[in-house]
Amino acid sequence: MTMNCTDTKALFDDLLDGELPLPQTEAVQRHLTTCAACREVLDREQGFRTVLKAQEVPPPSPGFAVRALANAQRKATAPRRRAFVAGFGSAVAAVLVLWLGVALFPHGASNNGAIPTVTLALAQPQMVRIVFTAPQDFPDATLTILLPPHTALKGYPGKQEVVWRSSLYKGRNMLTLPIEADQKPGGNLIAKIHYGTDTKTFRLRLKTQPLQQSMNRSVAV
Amino acid sequence: MGTIIQLFSRNNQRGFEALLAPHVEYLYRLAYRFTGQRADAEDLVQDLLVKLYPRRAELEHIEQLRPWLTRTLYHHFIDQVRRSERNPLHNALDIVPELDGGVGADPMSAGATESGVLQRQIATALAKLNPDQRVVVSLHDMEGYTLQELQAMLDTPIGTLKSRLHRARAALRETLRMEPLSPPERYTGERTSS
């Protein structure tokens, strides 16, 4: 069997996958002995697969396996969130006003999929504004804020999880959170929007720096 | 009575943990390859474990738990992607954080090594694949499962798997500009203008 370059290259996937029958494998090898161009293509394809195989996976967050297994039982048997949300009715109204009141504020660029980061001054409440851009109205959505360790939401002492019912409106919706860090935060702030049967999760990395540096940066900007 | 129930619950939890603990890191690794984000991978695995907990009695009778878990994670991932695509909330854009006083989001620190750049390019290219393509590339090209193993594991015909792989690789090459069927000048070593 004599093969040209096009036929040969079409079989490279099967060859490298070990799926090519012996007669065709031999025909490909015969072609390769006389065709430097196809050998180069095959080398490049092998290199491509080597790079794919070497693609690194970052380790999960510390203690993830233990935490996830323990959470499985707790979450599988926990009562539904709706009942918990109802207890925060008074907070809903207060924050809803704030949220909608600042909805027209301008904001910066998209974070392109990376976890966005803000740097807080230590031991000083700072207003962190979060803009949710919605493609349409989401009436009666539920917003959950989970704070990382060593941070607090002013007005909610001792609470690391705060839940509100509110509506997202088409366009920009801004949430302003007065956050204080008493030391380096132990993780990300997580914002979850529940709507219907689905949930969208956003993460925000909180970093800290000494007060003086933070003030200097604010002035410089 | 309460003590007996607590004991029963604790034994259930221990049995569940003993059964699944050896597989959690593996599931996370697969989930990361599927989703491309650590946080999303952790969420995917956590959701899966929550769904599996009520089925712990069934799990004890599964002889080959790892392939079964792989298939279950795959279905869970695909279900999650399709469910979110149907929900308009899926299209809500990412958050944009700001600090009062004008301190904005920090730029990502760039680990500018060559391999780091390539890793990020591949991650970006993988993210552009459709979920089924991403799964088969992850399991076959990255994790090293054979097509025969994947046929049984994912309950998908080999022809379909091959087709997904072929298209996925073509899309990856295109994104990474490593197309082996590109114009002849590349084969002869001449540089294309760029």
Pair A114, B107: CB distance under 8 Å: no
Q: Which residues of A touch B41 (CB under 8 A)?
A: 60
Q: Residue A99's CB: how many other CB atoms inside 10 A? A: 22
What percent of chain B has pLDDT above 70?
67
Phi, psi of B64 (to 5 degrees): -105, 85
Closest chain B C-alpha to A66 CA, distance in angstroms: 8
Highest mean pLDDT among B64-73, B121-130, B165-174: B64-73
Nearest to A120 by CA among A219, A220, A205: A205
Edge-to-edge order in the sheet of strand A161-168: A117-121, A198-209, A188-195, A138-146, A161-168
- Per-block mean pLDDT, blocks of 10 residues, chain A (221 long): 86 90 94 94 89 90 92 75 34 30 29 66 78 78 88 84 80 77 80 81 79 37 18
Q: Which residue of B has its CA nearest to A197?
A: B87
Say what the pLDDT of residue A108 is: 31
DSSP assignment of B117-146:
HHHHHHHHHHHTS-HHHHHHIIIIIIT---
Asked if A221 has any chain B CB less than 8 Å from its own CB, the reply is yes
Q: Is A137 on the interface with B (CB under 8 A)?
A: no
Alpha carbon of B136: minimum distance to chain A alpha carbons (Å): 13
Verdict on whether the full-model pTM lies above 0.80: no
Q: List B159's β-bridge partners, or say none.
A: none
> B22 falls in which pLDDT band (50, 70, 90)?
very high
Q: Report whether A192 contacts A103 (CB < 8 A).
A: no
Q: Please return the burial class of A70, using the count of CB atoms within 10 Å of its CB with bins 0-12, 13-18 and 19+.
A: middle
pLDDT at B115 over 80: no
Tokens representing B62 are 């599964």
Distance from CA of A104 to the nearest CA of B (A): 14
Of the candidates A121, A136, A71, the one whose C-alpha atom is nearest the C-alpha of residue B24 is A71
| ipTM confidence score | 0.73
DSSP B184: G
